[in-house]
Amino acid sequence: MNKLFLILIGLATIVSISVVLLYSIPSELESPPVHNTGFTYYDIEKIQNTLAAKDVLVSAPTAITDHTINQYCTFFDKGLPKTVEYCTTTAITDIHGNAFGNINIGGDTDSPILAIANLETSTLESNQDEVLAVIETMIETLVCDCWEEEKAGDIESISAWVDLVHKFYYDSNERGIKSQVDDLGTSTITLEVTPKDNSILQTLIILK
């Protein structure tokens, strides 16, 4: 049976304090089922179609070809920022046309290695259904539709994981929270909650 290990790390700087919540989910002794997590740039079409049925609209992808690529497709490897050769971005809006984020997919021109959803709302409760729809759809499309089958740790579903991250955010006096799942498919999945001046930024990162 999978076990869930929680490590709470406090990072203090002059300007801010970040609390990192790390989930590390080891494999069982028996070989787990193999799931395909080799996503491509074309998978954005699946994401668009799935989210459209949930009243979330995702625009056509636009390639980022200038120096601003760092703003869209930067990720961290062993604590160091890494960029990619090629990156596309899309805008996300609710059914009323209100923008609340974007989905960025990057790698080289042939194959992506990461996907990032930046979801910014006024509070964690704002656009809650739409935010959860984006997170669930990206994980199920780009990693696998296997969370409930594999039951990452003792967490029954993606929505239960998101609720748990939100709880730790409030319990940490609304400091930055990061939760990482390592053993779902072959990708690393991270959800970050970051307070801003007048909003909350939730960032989902899927890294092959």
Written as six digits, the tokens of 181 are 């799942």
Dist. CA 178–CA 196, nearest whole Å: 15
Written as six digits, the tokens of 19 are 């609390």
Mean pLDDT of 50-67: 96
Dist. CA 196–CA 162, nearest whole Å: 19
Indicate whether 12 pLDDT > 70.
no
Predicted local confidence at residue 15, as pLDDT: 30
Dist. CA 143–CA 43, nearest whole Å: 11
Digit-coded pLDDT (tens) for 132-184: 999 999 999 999 999 988 866 678 999 999 999 999 999 999 999 999 998 78
Per-residue pLDDT band at 73 (split at 50, 70, 90): very high
Domain tally, the chain? 1
Query: In this structure, how many other beta carbons lie within 10 angstroms of the beta carbon of residue 101?
Result: 25
Alpha helices for 35-96 (secondary structure H): 43-52, 69-72
| Helix 128-142, helix 43-52: angle, nearest 10 | 150
pTM over 0.85: no
Write down the mean pLDDT value for the chain.
84
**Which residue's entry shows tokens 């390639």?**
63
Range of the domain at 55: 5-207
Indicate whether 28 pLDDT > 60.
no
Indicate whether 124 pLDDT > 70.
yes
Indicate whether 131 pLDDT > 90.
yes
